[in-house]
Amino acid sequence: MKTDLHAPLREDVRLLGELLGDTLREQGDAALFETIENIRKVSVQGRGEGRVEMDALRDLLTALDDQQLLNVARAFNQFLNLANIAEQHHRERLRRHQQDFNDSPSAGASTAHGMAEVIQRLRSNGVADDEIYDCLTTLSVELVLTAHPTEVTRRTLIRKYDNIAELLGQRERSDLTAEEKATGIESLRRLILSAWCTDEIRRQKPTPVDEAKWGFATIEQSLWYAVPTALRELDAITEAALGKRLPVSCSPLRIASWMGGDRDGNPNVTASVTREVLCLARWMAADLYLRDIENLMADLSMQAASDELMQYLGGTTESSYEPYRVVLRQLRQRLRATRVRMEAMLNGKEVPAQKWFSCREDLSEPLLLIDRSLRECGMATIADGDLRDTLRRLSCFGVSLLSLDIRQESSRHVQAVDAVTAYLSMGSYQDWNESQRQAFLLGELQSKRPLVNQGFFDSEYCTDDVAEVFATCRTIAQTDAGALGAYVISMAHQPSDLLAVMLLQRESGVASWMRVVPLFETLDDLNNATETMSALLEIDWYRDKVSDGQEIMIGYSDSAKDAGYLAAAWAQFRSQESLTALFARHGIALTLFHGRGGSISRGGAPTRMALLSQPPGSVAGRIRVTEQGEVIRFKYGLPAVAVDNLAQYMAATLEATLAPPKAPTDAWRAEMDRLTETSVAAYRGVVKDEPELVRYLRTVTPEQELTRLALGSRPARRKQDAGIASLRAIPWVFAWTQIRLMLPAWLGTGAALQASLSDSARQPILKEMIGNWSFFQGAVDMLEMVLAKADPIVAAYYEQRLTDDPALLALGSDLRQRLHDCVETLAAISGDKNLLANNPVMQWSIKVRNPYTDPLHLLQAELMHRHRQQEGSNATLDSALMVTIAGIAAGMRNTG
């Protein structure tokens, strides 16, 4: 690591750590501080010498009572959160200094792959300027904020952490006076104290509406500013590089959401919740535009206006004096009316009959009129100011703030259609085979008469679950199409799954279809995706319905949970490749929607690597991608960081479209097939066939304890059984991350790579793939990163503390041996014993955290042990346990 470059990061971590130490000393009794310091020193010293001081640490911790354990856990948790803030701030600092700081060794410098550099590179590779410009003007990057329960930190604390980050930023100024410096330190001290005195654990499960409000807060506090800034920068870069500006209507960025719309496995998301969230979003949008318009009213005091504008105003005296303000005043009135209308709807009151903004054009047209007038009257510089920002916001956020997706699981639709066929005495849809189902659905879709009447809804066939599916579709029917995004069908298996949702929408009176998007998320479903879609495209009626384009969602986490990381990644790659070819053959535009989680096991990857790992041709200027939980905070929580992440998305999408990565050779494909065959067998051999795995998971990891953490509004399981199949991907990965075994990320992949490496015929191909194929290189980099966070000694400690069952201990030692082998294999591949040798910052970040996470792991195991010995609940133990979970998540920089 270049000392000069990263020294400020170390300095910030040291400063925040010291201030925390002072706080603890002042707040706690001196003995507590001594204990914490002792634990920290033992831990730091151990790690410094390459050991984990398990015995010494355990002796220190077991001597403490429950309350002391809670305080110690809180202290280490706090430190890790402070380290995260410093690191986050360091990213911003490096961005300003145009330096590389990327999570992945070969993802490359974010700045070297910034928009200006990408355009430059494309031009020097012979891509014509017009082609670049056309691609930029039609680029579409849509970020879908999901309600996925992975954010452990309370909003109350996030606010304090953001303030700390801001203060760190202020300390960088070179012109600070001594007093300002001292005031800055005092403010930091105050914030750290107030964080220390705040409960870090969310005590109540958020409701889906709370979740939606968190999403809105990210827009209000950050994206509302970041989006126009990112577009302003893009415009300037385009003009400098290509000599042309982007049209103001150009909207490469869009925001969508699942918060309050995703009902898959979440009974708390009902039709009325969705309606409430839709109203709240419109209210928020109106409120934000109101602030914009009031600001413009203050600024646009000019008199000169175009004839067009004067005609619009009808030539009153007032309008000839300050014409822009007159237009803006009208808009202000209408925005206020929109807010009032939404409030009335939210409170179930009568809706006042006033003009409101129901669509984007209502607001953008008058603003564009002002824009044209200003330009015509020689005030283009003014038009290019805040007015542009508002217009750009309108193209991104519209008047509904975001577009809301709906997601429901395929079996719920089957159940709903089955209720209808049973009611109509036609038999059981559920029992029909696929061709019978298709024939029925297509017949009904093409018929003009309605399928059911009120009698059905009053009948016993219409159970609560069925009624809810219909109620959701009715909500869609009552909602302005511009406020809605995709209807995503999770666990989509076959063509009828899509047709069923089309029929349910039609039956509910949906006039303008909500586009139906299958989510393919098991290995089999990914492998069959092209066949499924091809069967649909063979149907004239269907092909006609999607002639404007089809969207397909690829599920990263569930496929990895089903088949292991490598096999899932290859299945995702191949299905995207063949879907791309299929839709190209039919001349229908395809948008791939990537359901990536935050952590590696759930498909998480740095932006550029993620995009350049896609098969050539599959990006085609359009990308839709989920952003979840803590990732939303890390990537979009602060405006400056958000600008950078938005810019990276746009640059990488342009690059992946116009300079797509190489397609794999036949030899690479064959090797991938061999690798994934070994990998699936090894993965499933443990996850599906190992009889003790469920017991190991429930005994050694905090899987059960996690369900008590009020993370999100949805349950941890789809069904109430103890098996792995019904456990959602998030808690599955989360549990393994907490004990640092990281099983889902490497199990199977390690064995597959090892088999290839030890075969002299395969080894050269493997090396060639690593050196030349971005997809494979990315997968290996990701593996390396996760292995650097894995720690078999920590995992072994949990085992020792929590079980003496020989079968579980034997399984644990087998798993740790496999982890060890995987690390060795990777070292052999990279030729460096040291994982992450070429990513020193990441290495440093893990190193600096370990002495703080070690005590948390030990504490967690101790607390789990004490907890399980007791009958009934113990609030202190419970809290301490939750704090360790949150602290380890902070230490890993993701929950799992």
- The residues that are catalytic are 148, 561
Is the separation of the CB atoms in 1 and 840 below 8 Å? yes
DSSP 3-state assignment of 257?
A: strand
Is the separation of the CB atoms in 649 and 601 below 8 Å? no
Nearer to ligand PGA, 413 or 602 (CB): 602
* Sign for the pseudo-dihedral over CA of 813, 817, 822, 826: positive
> What's the closest the beta carbon of residue 397 comes to ligand PGA, in angstroms?
24
Is the separation of the CB atoms in 147 and 260 below 8 Å? yes
- Both structure tokens of 110: 């974010």
Nearer to ligand PGA, 597 or 660 (CB): 597
Is the separation of the CB atoms in 552 and 532 below 8 Å? no
> What's the closest the beta carbon of residue 296 comes to ligand PGA, in angstroms?
40
List, in order, residues 6 or more apart from 506 with CB less than 8 Å away. 445
Nearer to ligand PGA, 706 or 859 (CB): 706
Burial of 844 (0-12, 13-18, 19+ CB in 10 A): middle
> What's the closest the beta carbon of residue 501 comes to ligand PGA, in angstroms?
17
> What's the closest the beta carbon of residue 597 comes to ligand PGA, in angstroms?
4
> What's the closest the beta carbon of residue 735 comes to ligand PGA, in angstroms?
13
> What's the closest the beta carbon of residue 551 comes to ligand PGA, in angstroms?
16
- The beta strand positions in 475-598, using DSSP E, are 484-490, 515-520, 550-555, 590-595
List, in order, residues 6 or more apart from 37 with CB less than 8 Å away. 21
Nearer to ligand PGA, 516 or 553 (CB): 553
Is the separation of the CB atoms in 309 and 323 below 8 Å? yes
**From CA 890, how far away is CA 549, in angstroms rounded?**
41
Nearer to ligand PGA, 144 or 753 (CB): 144
Residue 719 CA: distances (Å) to CA of 47, 692, 694, 728: 42, 20, 15, 10
- Both structure tokens of 54: 């398990």
Return the exposure string of 128-167: e unless at least 16 CB atoms fall within 10 Å of the residue's CB, then b: eeeebbebbbebbbbbbbbbbbbbbbbeebbebbbbbbeb
DSSP 3-state assignment of 408?
A: strand
> What's the closest the beta carbon of residue 256 comes to ligand PGA, in angstroms?
15
Nearer to ligand PGA, 631 or 823 (CB): 631
Owner of token pair 């009934």: 872
Nearer to ligand PGA, 408 or 421 (CB): 408
End-to-end CA distance of the chain: 27
Which of 777, 769, 750 lies closest to 105, judged by CA?
A: 777
DSSP 155-171: HHHHHHHHHHHHHHHHH
Measure the CA angle with vertex 368, ends 402 and 144; round to 5°.
Answer: 15
What is the four-CA torsion angle of 91, 96, 98, 103, rounded to 10 degrees? 10
- Both structure tokens of 749: 């992949």
Nearer to ligand PGA, 254 or 728 (CB): 728
**From CA 552, how far away is CA 684, in angstroms rounded?**
27
Nearer to ligand PGA, 388 or 407 (CB): 407
The helix or strand, by DSSP H or E, that contains position 622, with its residue range, turns out to be: strand 622-627
> What's the closest the beta carbon of residue 298 comes to ligand PGA, in angstroms?
44
Nearer to ligand PGA, 111 or 895 (CB): 895
> What's the closest the beta carbon of residue 211 comes to ligand PGA, in angstroms?
13
DSSP 3-state assignment of 630?
A: helix
- Give residues in contact with ligand PGA (CB under 6 A): 148, 490, 557-558, 597, 602, 628, 728-730
**From CA 610, how far away is CA 416, in angstroms rounded?**
37
Nearer to ligand PGA, 490 or 853 (CB): 490
**From CA 740, how far away is CA 750, in angstroms rounded?**
16
Return the exposure string of 680-692: e unless at least 16 CB atoms fall within 10 Å of the residue's CB, then b: bebbbebbeeeeb
Nearer to ligand PGA, 557 or 839 (CB): 557
> What's the closest the beta carbon of residue 732 comes to ligand PGA, in angstroms?
8
**From CA 476, how far away is CA 532, in angstroms rounded?**
26
Helices (H), 314-452: 317-321, 323-346, 360-376, 380-382, 388-397, 410-423, 434-446
> What's the closest the beta carbon of residue 679 comes to ligand PGA, in angstroms?
20
**From CA 481, how far away is CA 284, in angstroms rounded?**
18
The one-letter amino acid code at 179 reads E
**From CA 103, how far away is CA 116, in angstroms rounded?**
21
Nearer to ligand PGA, 88 or 557 (CB): 557
List, in order, residues 6 or more apart from 532 with CB less than 8 Å away. 492, 493, 494, 495, 518, 520, 525
Residue of minimal CB distance from ligand PGA? 557
CB count in 10 Å sphere of residue 739:
27
**From CA 152, how far away is CA 887, in angstroms rounded?**
9
Is the separation of the CB atoms in 313 and 323 below 8 Å? yes
